[in-house]
Amino acid sequence: MKINGDTDIYGLIGNPVSHTLSPVIHNSLAQEKGHNLVYIPFLVPQGALKEAIKGAYSLQVKGLNVTVPFKEKVMEYLEDIDELAGEIHAVNTLVRGESGFKGYNTDISGLKRAMKKDDIPIKGETVCLLGAGGAAKAAAALCAKEGAAKIYILNRTIEKAQEIEKMVKDTYGFANISSLHMEEHQSIKEEGLLAIQCTSVGLHPKEGKAVIEEEEFYKKIAVGLDLIYKPETTGFMKKITARGNRAYNGLKMLVYQGIIAYELWTETEIHEKTADLIYEKCKAELKDHE
């Protein structure tokens, strides 16, 4: 990588950012495409988001990704917001405009492409979402838009699940959605579920743990997707594969949401062969830091 006066700057804002794989994704894409740009993580202290956005624009930063805890708060400081991001009230990508940044959400389209890559159907499926944070909101929106038969949202704080339920009903007219306390999972009678794990349970220091431990629950799951990507195989995934069923982690979603952001920034198309290469680079990076 050669950095000079013509190098465009992109980056990630969040807190924390030290763990991020995004520089691997974007700097590798720049190398593959021959683009003169560099991607850097920026740690933004709580309470400094407005100044960070203003400063990035003044410094000619061309685009930013946004991660926790700023995906909703950042919307206050943008020039414009894409329709999809506005629907779920969450932004993870900023594109430079004439007088400010425009906000997009590439989590939904990234999840869609990842699920398609792993041949995970949504249309006509009964979906069980574990958790009610930003990732669950994106997953709920995708499942409603793609024609799921029914959606359950399970969370320890039911009010947060109910907020997503209301968003899905009001925005997409999707009525067959229910909120449950995590402990009420036994009330789900359907089998052959598509389960999407959207909580942080399974991350360090809770490797090997699952947000629901009871084995009876896993008898109902046909396919599982854990949006955690480190460790490579989570406790949630192990409980599903132990029954001979399919389970995947969240690395492909991470890669695809990054690729879609890169396509927005550079107005180029990233082909599947390149996406596969970036995925393998991210896997290698994770192995190096085990």
Catalytic residues, by residue number, are 71
- Give the integer Cα–Cα distance in Å for 2 and 212: 48
3-state secondary structure the chain: CCCCCCCEEEEEEECCCCCCCHHHHHHHHHHHHCCCEEEEEEECCCCCHHHHHHHHHHCCCCEEEECCCCCCHHHHHCCEECHHHHHHCCCCEEEECCCCEEEECCHHHHHHHHHHHCCCCCCCCEEEEECCCHHHHHHHHHHHHCCCCEEEEEECCHHHHHHHHHHHHHHHCCCCEEEEEHHHHHHCCCCCEEEEECCCECECCCCCCCCCCCHHHHCCEEEEEECCCCCCCCHHHHHHHCCCCEEECCHHHHHHHHHHHHHHHHCCCCCHHHHHHHHHHHHHHHHHCC
- Give the integer Cα–Cα distance in Å for 143 and 148: 5
Amino acid identity at 130? L
- Give the integer Cα–Cα distance in Å for 144 and 137: 11
Residues in the chain: 290
